[in-house]
Amino acid sequence: MQLQKQPYNDRRQESPEHSVWWQKLSLAQKFSVGSLSKFGYELLFIRNDKGRSIAVLSNNNGTVTISEDGEINGSPDIIIR
């Protein structure tokens, strides 16, 4: 009996446009998410903070946030449960 290797699906190879959160991003956030996805970052979710949306991304090196204006924060004060 020969075992067949199952294909490995790495979600990080998926384009960010396929994320369920993509439609909720501002245009500036989409550009920043697209740039960070090249470095293995994955869009996890969007959090609303004081009426503004903040995109939360993660990779093996840590977590970053992106403001509605597309500003990337590489050291966010955020706790992910």
Structural domain range at position 46: 20-73
Report how many domains make up the chain: 1
Task: Tell me: pLDDT of 62 over 50.
Answer: yes
- Residue 4 belongs to some domain of the structure: no
Cβ neighbours, 10 Å, residue 63: 17
Give pLDDT tens digits for 14-61: 566 667 888 899 999 999 999 999 999 999 999 988 889 999 999 988
Work out the pLDDT band at 79, boundaries 50, 70, 90: confident
Q: Does this model's pTM top 0.85?
A: no
pLDDT tens figures, 1-13: 555 554 544 555 5
Domain presence at residue 28: yes
Asked if 43 contacts 57 with a C-beta cutoff of 8 angstroms, the reply is: yes
